[in-house]
Amino acid sequence: MTQTAASVQDMAHHLHPFSDNKQLKESGVRVIEKADGIYIYDNQGNKIIDGMAGLWCVNIGYGRKELGDIAKNQMDELAYYNTFFKTSHPAVINLSAKLAEVAPAGFNHVFYTGSGSESVDSMMRMVRHYWASVGKPSKTILIGRWNGYHGSTIGGASMGGMKGMHAQGGLPIPGIEHIEQPWYYGLHNEGETPEEFGLRAANWLEERIIEVGADNVAAFVGEPIQGAGGVIIPPSTYWPRIQEICQKYNILLVADEVICGFGRTGSWFGHETLGFKPDIFTTAKGLSSGYLPIGAVFVGDKVVEGILQGGEFNHGFTYAGHPVSAAVALKNVQILQDEKIIQNVHDVTGPYMQQKWREMLAQFKYVDDVRGVGLIQGFTLVKNKATREMFPNEGETGTALRDIFFRNNLIMRACGDHIVASPPLTITKEEIDLMLATAEKCIQEFEANMDAKLGA
Ligand SMILES: *Cc1c(COP(=O)(O)O)cnc(C)c1O
């Protein structure tokens, strides 16, 4: 990357999240100045395909002027007011009605936040408050999964299963348990089918519940598809069995829909695609397509009823239901509906992209476990496909390929040695072809480098 004046100035005053800031000072940062559709543009004239929709969030694509107009009008009318103290406002009232309309049956209430992490933190406190409200205060333990991602606040990072995050700042906080992720490729036994593995992986939950005592467990929390963990899609048997276990032991089932929600998998919500019914689900990202920060916890009727018995919920954010964010989120949801964007992902672009990745990636010897649904995609870099041996120094190989993508003006992401894509939901077939042609060239370069390195 070339150091531009803007990059030098950035490094002088800006500490970046999820970055080695010392290293960044040497390499410099890419400065993105504008964006349109699936493209972002940097300050050196590069037109870059955004295969990640920002951070999995720009579902309707960049540059939709309607959202700016809505934001301006709302700011002129009512720039800010809170939703505490017996108060509301039209923007949040309208958004809530719309969200209840697009949510599955049984979800008629939302609790607002400013981000995915805040949605997860709010959910964590809410499920404990729920059990206390219905006379079971001992049910406090939350069970999540290794390699799950639930945000960066102390609660969210504890709920998540990212060991690198736990290693900093004394996490996880008490009362959180983790079970292994349902990654068939990496964890199945010889001869085990995906369906058999899915049941075995779900049963890890039952084992943990028995270990800590069902009377102590509040909820199981999982992303329908683990996103930042590398797009880990469980076998079809996994979620139905998880749901059965939660019912058997009277434990709330929570879906973290921050990535999967609002169309990513070809349904409004990921749990609809994966075939289960949570009691609560958390959202953010695609709720506003990232145009403004906003998150929402969708609370099922059973949990609402319980909470209503519990008196005041001592929890809330200054910007909960922020009028400008709410107005923009409403318009975003209307665009998803009016333009039938999710339907198109389900019927056309999702299946098309899945097929094209599979066809294109078949030629490569260090690429395996190609997987995806809708417009979320992952594959894994492995040293030996026959033995499923991974590369040493997890993440190093993924980052090497990721950097080649960047140099070729394609944004994809490496999660360890899993490579993932999550383009805007508005991407066309032609744009998918272009993205994959670029990716193909990059992976060819990567394999040539790797052959040279391994002496193959
Ligand atoms: C991104 C993400 C979060 C955190 O959202 P922020 O808005 O970054 O706080 C939580 N859960 C999942 C599944 C996510 O992908």
Give pLDDT tens digits for 216-273.
Answer: 999 999 999 999 999 999 999 999 999 999 999 999 999 999 999 999 999 999 999 9
Cα(383) to centroid(ligand 1), Å: 31
Cα(116) to centroid(ligand 1), Å: 4
Which distant-in-sequence residues (6+ apart) come within 8 Å of 65 by Cβ?
Answer: none
Angle at 211 between CA 142 and CA 193, to 5 degrees: 85
Average pLDDT over residues 15-30: 93
Nearest CA to ligand 1 atom 14: 258
User: Is residue 11 included in any domain, yes or no?
Assistant: no
| H-assigned helices in 82-191 | 90-102, 116-133, 154-159, 163-166, 184-187
| Band of pLDDT at residue 165, cut at 50, 70 and 90 | very high
Whether residues 112 and 218 fall in one domain? yes
Which residue among 150, 265, 291 is best mutated to probe the pocket of ligand 1, counting the most ligand atoms within 8 A of its Cβ? 150
Establish how many alpha carbons lie within 13 A of residue 345's alpha carbon, considering only the half-sphere containing its beta carbon: 31
Per-residue pLDDT, 456: 77
Report the SS3 class of residue 87: coil
Whether residues 178 and 287 fall in one domain? yes
Residue 150 Cβ < 6 Å to ligand 1: yes
Reported pTM = 0.98
Nearest CA to ligand 1 atom 5: 116
Whether residues 224 and 189 fall in one domain? yes
Per-residue pLDDT, 373: 98
Cα(151) to centroid(ligand 1), Å: 5
Pick the last residue of a domain from 281, 306, 338: 338
Q: What CA–CA distance (Å, rounded) separates 154 from 314?
A: 18
Residue 229 Cβ < 6 Å to ligand 1: no
Residues 227 and 260: beta-carbon distance below 8 Å: yes
| H-assigned helices in 258-367 | 270-274, 301-308, 323-338, 341-344, 350-361
Average pLDDT over residues 200-211: 98
Cα(223) to centroid(ligand 1), Å: 10
Counting from 1 in the atom list of ligand 1, the atom nearest the Cα of 151 is 4
Q: What is the dihedral of CA 369, 375, 376, 378, to 10 degrees?
A: 30
**Sign of the four-CA dihedral 150, 156, 160, 164:** positive
Cα(5) to centroid(ligand 1), Å: 32
Amino acid identity for residue 22 in this structure: K
Nearest CA to ligand 1 atom 6: 116
* Tens of pLDDT, residues 72-131: 999 999 999 999 999 999 999 999 999 999 999 999 999 999 999 999 999 999 999 999
Per-residue pLDDT, 2: 65
Whether residues 425 and 313 fall in one domain? no
Mean pLDDT of the chain: 97
Whether residues 356 and 328 fall in one domain? no
What single DSSP character describes residue 287?
G
Cα(258) to centroid(ligand 1), Å: 6
* Tens of pLDDT, residues 410-429: 999 999 999 999 999 999 99
Residue 256 Cβ < 6 Å to ligand 1: yes
**Which residues span the domain enclosing 376?**
31-60+340-454
Cα(391) to centroid(ligand 1), Å: 28
* Tens of pLDDT, residues 324-365: 999 999 999 999 999 999 999 999 999 999 999 999 999 999
Residue 151 Cβ < 6 Å to ligand 1: yes
**Is the per-residue pLDDT at 286 higher than 80?**
yes
What percentage of residues in the chain have a pLDDT greater than 90?
A: 98
Whether residues 189 and 92 fall in one domain? yes
Whether residues 120 and 251 fall in one domain? yes
Average pLDDT over residues 54-80: 98
**Sign of the four-CA dihedral 313, 315, 321, 322:** positive
The kind and range of the H/E element at 213 are: none
Largest Cα–Cα distance of the chain, in whole Å?
70
Which residue among 59, 117, 265 is best mutated to probe the pocket of ligand 1, counting the most ligand atoms within 8 A of its Cβ? 117
User: Is residue 18 included in any domain, yes or no?
Assistant: no
Whether residues 231 and 168 fall in one domain? yes
User: Is residue 41 included in any domain, yes or no?
Assistant: yes
Per-residue pLDDT, 3: 81
**Is the per-residue pLDDT at 1 higher than 70?**
no
User: Is residue 24 included in any domain, yes or no?
Assistant: no
Pick the last residue of a domain from 316, 338, 360: 338
Whether residues 326 and 433 fall in one domain? no
Whether residues 212 and 230 fall in one domain? yes
Residue 149 Cβ < 6 Å to ligand 1: yes
Whether residues 354 and 295 fall in one domain? no
Cα(288) to centroid(ligand 1), Å: 13
Q: Which residue has the tokens 């094209």?
A: 356
Which distant-in-sequence residues (6+ apart) come within 8 Å of 223 by Cβ?
Answer: 148, 149, 150, 229, 255, 256, 257, 258, 259, 260, 270
Whether residues 231 and 249 fall in one domain? yes
CB atoms < 10 A from the CB of 139, how many? 23
* CATH number assigned to the domain comprising residue 134: 3.40.640.10
Number of domains composing the chain: 2
Residue 117 Cβ < 6 Å to ligand 1: yes
Per-residue pLDDT, 116: 98
Which distant-in-sequence residues (6+ apart) come within 8 Å of 204 by Cβ?
Answer: 179, 180
Pick the last residue of a domain from 290, 306, 338: 338
Cα(437) to centroid(ligand 1), Å: 30
Cα(388) to centroid(ligand 1), Å: 30
Counting from 1 in the atom list of ligand 1, the atom nearest the Cα of 57 is 1
Cα(179) to centroid(ligand 1), Å: 20
Nearest CA to ligand 1 atom 11: 150
Which residue among 58, 120, 232, 264 is best mutated to probe the pocket of ligand 1, counting the most ligand atoms within 8 A of its Cβ? 120
